[in-house]
Structure 1
Amino acid sequence: MRVKLYYRLTYLDILPNMAGGVKVRADHGKGTELERHMGLLSGVFLIMGTMIGSGIFISPKGVLEGTGSVGMALITWMACGVVVTLAALCYAELGTMIPKSGGEHSYLMHTFGKMDKCFGPVPAFLFDWVGLFIIRPTMFAIMTLSLGTYAIKPFFPNCTPPDVAVKAVSLSAIFVIAFINGYSVKLATHIQNICTVVKLLAIAIITIGGIVRIAQGNREYIQDGFEDTQTDVSLIAIAFYNGLWAFDGWNNLNFVTEELINPGRNLPISIMIGIPLTTVCYVLVNIGYLGVMSKEEIILSHAVAVTWGDRMLGLVASIMPIFVAISCFGAANGCLFASGRLCFAAAREGHFPEVFSYISLNRKTPLPSIILTAFIGACLIIPGDLSALIDFFSFSAWIAYGFTVFSLLVLRRTEPKTQRPFRVPTVVAISVVLTSLYLVMAPILHSPRVEFLYAALFIFSGLLLYFPFVYYRDCWRPLDPFINWVTIKVQKVFLVVP
């Protein structure tokens, strides 16, 4: 089959011809766009399915370690839910006011990009730089590594699974998830919905089992209340970080706004249903753990849900690692679904090579950006040591979240008459900005580590790329023939169009 594709066509109309080949016609009156497939239920399930990943099943011990008591740990989980809900409501206003895919990139570009030709796009570019190469792929890599660990755990019941096997399964999962997301938006959302139902079933089993034990009189673990509560502010901040890590993914629906049906209605409603429901699930599942295990046992356990299953489920305890693996698969699927749209939106603004803003002609998915995001995630899996990246992720992410909500306050002054289908009180936006500032500064002031310096250096190193490759990109015009040649080859291989 012979394929002829033209660089930067507005639209490609492919017609079979007599010779059995393919003929391409340009129609400049039309465009190829992402399609709106996601309804309200899929939006809720994307939020819940991405947030409920491995964290709540594997290591809620971080919150207990930081708070020191059962009562304070439960309050911290609820407080994290409140913080995330308020931040997400601010994002809902931005998403309904600026109905574009790309999340933070689109909002920062809209707010600051028009203010100054030189420095206006810098905040959006720095977010793209950190988001594409650290924040999003780190989330994806951690989820798939957890999936690999617990998918093969039943085959190694009495020992730790070998690293080679874990990474092989994790890389296979990345390939499968990338294929699903590149093949069909509908298929990706259906799988997301199924995985969310399965992980809610796992939460229900743990919650009901723990409450039954408490009703039977096993109350000694939960009766500890506020005994041994920590007074060190830095430890409470670390507990908050651990809790917020389990909630991360709350903003993923903002990355796919252009594929959400009626975003002015469904975006805020999905947030107001999904995040509070996830908060309730997290509190209930912790109560379920405490009905069976002491806080000391939870802190020492590397996989709380698996330990809980061994205590409560007997011969069928092996289903718990399967539940955790499915939960991780759903979270990783939702993460890649949203992350691919960040690369797509950034390339559309000229912050990355234009070919990553192209979409599949037949599937209407941002295929090149999905492949790039999955590739970076796979590269992070190969070393396998992601502990430093987790700290880097939390620090960098809350800088981005706080600055994005700050852009909402800026828009209140610069665009007061712009239509806002959903609006939050100004005091909510201010409280989110102050909270993010605390979450960024508290670890630095109370327990400074070299990772935070590396994070700051990496963020600002993006400026070394912005000015030569974005702002002064006209200087690279002599390379256009080569760039066009590569772009056309990618179009031919993946059948993608602008």
Structure 2
Amino acid sequence: MEREVGIIGAVSFIAGTMMGSGIFISPQYVLAAIGSPGASLIIWVCCGLIAMLGGLCYAEMGTVIPVSGGEFVYILRTAGKVVAFMFVYSFVIVMRPASATGIALSFSKYIVAQFYHSCTPPQLVVKCVAAGAIMVLAIINCLSVRLATGIQVVAMFVKLLTLAVIILVGVVMLFQGRTENFDNLFEGTNVGFSSIGIAFYQGLWSYDGWNTLNYLTEELKHPEVNLPRAIVIAISLVTGLYLLVNVSYLTVMTPKELVSSSAVAVTWGNKVLGSWGWIMSVAAALSAFGSLNGTFFSGGRVCFVAAREGHMPDILAMAHVRRLTPSPALIFTTIISLVVLIPGDFQSIVNFFSFTAWFFYGITLSGLLYLKIKKPELPRPYKVPIVLPILALIAAIFLVLAPIIDSPQIEYLYVTLFILSGALIYVPVIHFKLCPGLLSKLTVFLQLILEVAPADKTL
């Protein structure tokens, strides 16, 4: 694969993936969990700080280990093969499909809402449209890296324009004296560990994508410069926009209206734009489409690199001979996402995705601390103070434990057991390579059908 992603594309992939469906849906869930408008704004700022901490730490990891694959490669080089397989197993089956499914459901709800004004859209219709979006973007990402990058850039500008309109209207209304919804800002704040943890889960869902570039480091031009620069630019931009957008939501809607909204951007549009409120629904759908595109682009690279390291079937480490895209990995990710879509529920998807993601983010940050302490001689084109990964690791531990300590749920035990089961699967499937003959024949057959070949690693 070639280095085709420059600084504009890099910022677009991070900001475009982050600014997806979350900011148009999550604010009501954050407010419902934390209980007060003032506390919800603090949560949004803190989520941005956590994303920035994680992003800067990942920037150093991406320059010390300049290989695509994100957490998988970093865990493989620091914690070993078993833990790396646990990550990729969880990533492929839970994290990336859950992320793609949640975004696709959001996209579908905004599209379908235009045809069901007076009633709730049927779940079958919503899921069929979501499945269609997943398949269309899978095809685009299989056809061309440049086309996928172009969609990401265009989608980012649509998102920025949409958020700019929301912010501008909110600022104008504030200057007109619409401040009554900011009275008693912290009244009703929930201070329990579970409430704070769930609020962070919902807020950080909107920031998911801060680590997107680490999945495609090998396709990034001058990663030692562009990786940290793109992370700082994109996360700072997104954090500022999210805070101002939430202020605008609270200016137009009462906290009660915001919490009861099924799609806050649409409710905002109907109150401000009247009969033209559908514009916000279309803009939110386009935003989610761009985020889903970024999710597919990065997710396919993790399967690709994991297969290259022997932790997934060999066919997933191959690229199309002419288009130079990891099409087998993208097709595999698409199939799993469609399976997850069948029983998918948005809020549960967000909570369990966040729990699993921050579990492995914590392991990755521990690996950075290990490299800083045990291997200081490694070349570091970009370096962060050791206090940053310590703070980020503390945040990760809190996010994993907070929902469990205050309000334990059996579902979190199931997710934990699923993660740990990866260690049991590793021994027969990866270490002893069961049924190698059958896999070899299947690999050759799929190579011929998909026109793919092993890809050389280019650093």
1:47 to 1, 8, 14: 14
Instruction: Determine the C-alpha separation between the residues in 2 that align with 1:283 and 1:194.
Output: 23
Instruction: Determine the C-alpha separation between the residues in 2 that align with 1:246 and 1:466.
Output: 33
Residue equivalent to 1:487: 443
Residue equivalent to 1:72: 39
1:320-369: CA deviations, max 9, x gaps?
11111101110100001000011001101111111100011101111100
1:161 to 121, 146, 164: 121
CA apart distance, 1:104: 0.3
Instruction: Determine the C-alpha separation between the residues in 2 that align with 1:389 and 1:308.
Output: 25
Aligned to 2:180, the other structure's residue is in SS state coil
Identity rate, percent: 45
Residue equivalent to 1:257: 217
Residue equivalent to 1:394: 354
Aligned to 1:359, the other structure's residue is in SS state strand
Instruction: Within 5 Å, give how 1:37-116 maps onto structure 2.
Output: 37-112=4-79
1:49-85: CA deviations, max 9, x gaps?
1111112112301221233222221111111100110
- Residues 54 and 146, structure 1, Cα contact 8 Å, conserved in 2: yes
Instruction: Determine the C-alpha separation between the residues in 2 that align with 1:441 and 1:68.
Output: 20
- Residues 391 and 451, structure 1, Cα contact 8 Å, conserved in 2: no
Letter in 2 for 1:494: L
Between structure 1 and structure 2, the one with the greater Rg is 1
Instruction: Determine the C-alpha separation between the residues in 2 that align with 1:393 and 1:58.
Output: 16
User: In structure 2, do the counterparts of structure 1 residues 481 and 63 end up closer, same or farther at CA, with 3 Å as the change threshold?
Assistant: closer
CA apart distance, 1:401: 0.3
Consecutive aligned runs of 4 or more in structure 1 exceeding 4 Å deviation: none
Does residue 279 in structure 1 map to residue 239 in structure 2?
yes
CA apart distance, 1:386: 4.7
Instruction: Determine the C-alpha separation between the residues in 2 that align with 1:170 and 1:245.
Output: 18
Scaled by the length of structure 2, what TM-score is found?
0.96
Residue equivalent to 2:276: 316
- Residues 47 and 204, structure 2, Cα contact 8 Å, conserved in 1: yes
Residue equivalent to 2:143: 183
- Residues 107 and 407, structure 1, Cα contact 8 Å, conserved in 2: yes
User: In structure 2, do the counterparts of structure 1 residues 232 and 485 end up closer, same or farther at CA, with 3 Å as the change threshold?
Assistant: closer
Which stretch shows the higher mean deviation, 450-459 or 149-158? 149-158
Instruction: Determine the C-alpha separation between the residues in 1 that align with 2:60 and 2:344.
Output: 38
User: In structure 2, do the counterparts of structure 1 residues 460 and 231 end up closer, same or farther at CA, with 3 Å as the change threshold?
Assistant: closer
Instruction: Within 5 Å, give how 1:286-305 maps onto structure 2.
Output: 286-305=246-265
Residue equivalent to 1:378: 338
Instruction: Determine the C-alpha separation between the residues in 1 that align with 2:263 and 2:2.
Output: 40
Instruction: Determine the C-alpha separation between the residues in 1 that align with 2:137 and 2:216.
Output: 17
Does residue 438 in structure 1 map to residue 405 in structure 2?
no
Which stretch shows the higher mean deviation, 331-340 or 149-158? 149-158
1:416-460: CA deviations, max 9, x gaps?
111001111101111111111111111111110001100111011
Q: Greater helix share, 1 or 2?
A: 2
User: In structure 2, do the counterparts of structure 1 residues 387 and 222 end up closer, same or farther at CA, with 3 Å as the change threshold?
Assistant: closer
User: In structure 2, do the counterparts of structure 1 residues 384 and 443 end up closer, same or farther at CA, with 3 Å as the change threshold?
Assistant: closer
Instruction: Determine the C-alpha separation between the residues in 2 that align with 1:460 and 1:387.
Output: 24
- Residues 355 and 487, structure 1, Cα contact 8 Å, conserved in 2: yes
CA apart distance, 1:391: 2.2
2:287 to 327, 331, 337: 327
Which stretch shows the higher mean deviation, 280-289 or 164-173? 164-173
Instruction: Determine the C-alpha separation between the residues in 1 that align with 2:32 and 2:227.
Output: 35
| Aligned pairs, number | 454
CA apart distance, 1:488: 1.4
Letter in 2 for 1:246: S
1:202 to 162, 182, 187: 162
User: In structure 2, do the counterparts of structure 1 residues 388 and 73 end up closer, same or farther at CA, with 3 Å as the change threshold?
Assistant: closer
Instruction: Determine the C-alpha separation between the residues in 2 that align with 1:200 and 1:341.
Output: 26
- Residues 42 and 193, structure 1, Cα contact 8 Å, conserved in 2: yes
Letter in 2 for 1:350: G
Letter in 2 for 1:157: H
Letter in 2 for 1:471: H
- Over the aligned positions, Cα root-mean-square deviation in angstroms equals 1.3
Letter in 2 for 1:492: L
5+ residue gaps, structure 2, are: 455-459
User: In structure 2, do the counterparts of structure 1 residues 323 and 86 end up closer, same or farther at CA, with 3 Å as the change threshold?
Assistant: same
Instruction: Determine the C-alpha separation between the residues in 2 that align with 1:178 and 1:437.
Output: 34
- Residues 179 and 251, structure 2, Cα contact 8 Å, conserved in 1: yes
Letter in 2 for 1:121: K
CA apart distance, 1:240: 1.6
- Residues 54 and 327, structure 1, Cα contact 8 Å, conserved in 2: yes
Letter in 1 for 2:450: F
Instruction: Within 5 Å, give how 1:8-23 maps onto structure 2.
Output: none
Residue equivalent to 1:11: none
- Residues 195 and 403, structure 2, Cα contact 8 Å, conserved in 1: no
Letter in 2 for 1:44: V
Letter in 1 for 2:360: A
CA apart distance, 1:398: 0.5
2:325 to 337, 361, 365: 365
Instruction: Determine the C-alpha separation between the residues in 2 that align with 1:180 and 1:317.
Output: 30
Instruction: Determine the C-alpha separation between the residues in 1 that align with 2:174 and 2:437.
Output: 71
Aligned to 1:315, the other structure's residue is in SS state helix
CA apart distance, 1:216: 1.4
1:12-35: CA deviations, max 9, x gaps?
xxxxxxxxxxxxxxxxxxxxxx11
User: In structure 2, do the counterparts of structure 1 residues 65 and 164 end up closer, same or farther at CA, with 3 Å as the change threshold?
Assistant: closer
User: In structure 2, do the counterparts of structure 1 residues 471 and 481 end up closer, same or farther at CA, with 3 Å as the change threshold?
Assistant: closer
Residue equivalent to 1:24: none
Instruction: Determine the C-alpha separation between the residues in 2 that align with 1:59 and 1:341.
Output: 27
Instruction: Determine the C-alpha separation between the residues in 2 that align with 1:191 and 1:293.
Output: 32
